Amino acid sequence: MSEWTSCGYSFELSPSKFGELRSSNEILGNRYKLQKRMQEDGYLLLRQILDLDLVENCRLELAEKLDSIGDIDQRYPLIDAIQNPETQNAQMSATGFAKKLGAGPAVRKLVHEGKMIDFYTHFFGQSVRPLDFVWVRSMRVGHSAPCHYDWVYMGRGSNRLLTSWTPIGSVPKIEGALAVLEGSNHFDELIQGYGSIDVDDQSSNPHKFKGSYTKNPVEVQRQFGGRWLTTDFQAGDLLIFTMHTMHCSLDNQSPDNRIRLSIDTRYQPAIDQVDERWVGDHPIAHSDAAKR
Ligand SMILES: O=C(O)CCC(=O)C(=O)O
Ligand SMILES: [Fe+2]
C-alpha cells in the first residue's frame, strides 16, 4: 500500500516525514528510563505486554456487542469483525459506543486490572487510578480520527494523565493504526494555544470548537515539523502517550472490510485531582452537565 491517509488526506511519505514508532521494551525494567523517554518522545510503544487471552476475550465481547446492533457480517466468524455491508449504521463515536453498548467485563478486566495497572504503578512509582470511562473504538472502513491533543477533552484533572491506546486484535497500518507526531509534546506554542483549550468550557472555547486541531495531518506537520510515526500493531501491544502528544489514526482501508477495534483509556497517580467528566458508573462526559 503506497498511500496512507487520515480523514481522506494523504500523508507525505518521505523518510523525513513518515516513519516507524520505536519500541521501548528494552527499558521496561527501569522506571526512570521510561519516564525520561516519555518526556523526550511523548510516547512509549510496548510490544506484547498485555495478556493475549484477555485481548482475545475483549475482541469477542466487542464483536458480540456490534453484532447485537447488526454491524457484523454473519457470513464470517464473529471474531473476524467483518462489517455488515447491508447496514448503513453510522460510524459511532467512542462516547456513542459507551452510551449504546457500554464497556463489558472483558474490557474492564483488560484495561482496569492486571498488566495494565501493573505497568502504570511501575511507571509512576505510586498508586494509580484510571479514569472510569472507557473509550471503545469500532472504526469502520473509510473512517479515522483527526489530529488532536487529548488534553482538550480531559484536561480538568491531573497533568500527569496518560493515554493507553490498545489494539484489540492486530491493527496493521492498512486497517487504521494510530499515528503520533514526533516531537509534538514539545510544540510549546501549540500547547499553549490550541493545546490549552477545554472543549466543554465556553471561556477557553468561545467558538464551540469540536476539539480536534485539523483533519489534515500534513497541515500540522508543515506548521511545526516532525515525522508522523506509526506501525503495524499486534494483539498484546500497547501504545502510551501524553495529553500533549498530537495523534490521529490512519483511515481504515481494510481489504477484508474488517472493523478496526481498539480501546483507549487513561491513567494518573491516584493522589492527583481527577477530571470529573470521566468518573463514576455513568460519567457526565461532554453532556450539558460538563459545560462551563
Ligand atoms: O483510535 C482512534 O482512532 C483514536 C484514538 C485516540 O484519539 C486516543 O486513543 O486518544
Ligand atoms: Fe486521542
pLDDT per residue as tens digits for the range 130-155: 999 999 999 999 999 999 999 999 99
CA dist list (Å): 105 to 68, 102, 114, 135, 261:
17, 10, 13, 14, 16
- Quote the ligand 2 centre to 150 CA distance (angstroms): 5
pLDDT band at 88 (very low <50, low <70, confident <90, very high): low
Strand spans (E) along 121-272: 128-130, 135-139, 162-167, 178-181, 228-230, 238-242, 247-249, 260-269
Taking residues 102-111, what's their average pLDDT? 93
Which residues have CB under 6 Å of ligand 1? 137, 139, 145, 150, 163, 165, 178, 247, 249, 262, 264
Q: Please report the atom of ligand 1 found closest to the CA of residue 262.
A: 1
Q: Which of 259, 55, 283 is nearest to 157 (CA)?
A: 283
What would the grid cell of residue 50 be?
498485555
- Is the pLDDT at 99 greater than 80? The verdict is no
Whether residue 134 contacts residue 116, with contact meaning beta carbons closer than 8 Å, is answered with no
First to last CA, the chain: 45
**pLDDT score of 292:** 86
Please state, rounded to an integer, the average pLDDT across all residues of the chain: 94
Mutate to test the pocket of ligand 1, among 133, 134, 137, 199 (most ligand atoms within 8 A of CB): 137
Beta-carbon neighbour count of residue 62 at 10 Å? 27
- Quote the ligand 2 centre to 105 CA distance (angstroms): 23
- Quote the ligand 1 centre to 173 CA distance (angstroms): 14
- Is the pLDDT at 1 greater than 50? The verdict is no
Could you tell me which CATH class the domain 5-290 is placed in? mainly beta
- Is the pLDDT at 119 greater than 60? The verdict is yes
- The rounded distance, in Å, linking the Cα atoms of 177 and 191 is 24
- Is the pLDDT at 283 greater than 50? The verdict is yes
- Quote the ligand 1 centre to 7 CA distance (angstroms): 13
Q: Please report the atom of ligand 1 found closest to the CA of residue 176.
A: 3
**pLDDT score of 86:** 85
Q: pTM score, two decimals? A: 0.96
Q: Where are the domains of the chain?
A: 5-290
Whether residue 194 contacts residue 148, with contact meaning beta carbons closer than 8 Å, is answered with no
**pLDDT score of 257:** 96
Beta-carbon neighbour count of residue 52 at 10 Å? 11
- Quote the ligand 1 centre to 69 CA distance (angstroms): 22
Q: Which residues are close to ligand 2, an ion, with C-beta < 5 A?
A: 150
Nearest C-alpha to atom 8 of ligand 1 is from which residue?
264
Q: Where are the alpha helices (DSSP H) in 173-227?
A: 188-192, 217-224
- Quote the ligand 1 centre to 165 CA distance (angstroms): 7
Nearest C-alpha to atom 4 of ligand 1 is from which residue?
145
- The rounded distance, in Å, linking the Cα atoms of 83 and 73 is 5
Q: Which of 61, 103, 93, 116 is nearest to 282 (CA)?
A: 103
* Segment 204-256, tens digit of pLDDT: 877 777 899 999 999 999 999 999 999 999 999 999 999 999 999 999 999 99
Taking residues 108-130, what's their average pLDDT? 98
Q: Please report the atom of ligand 1 found closest to the CA of residue 264.
A: 9
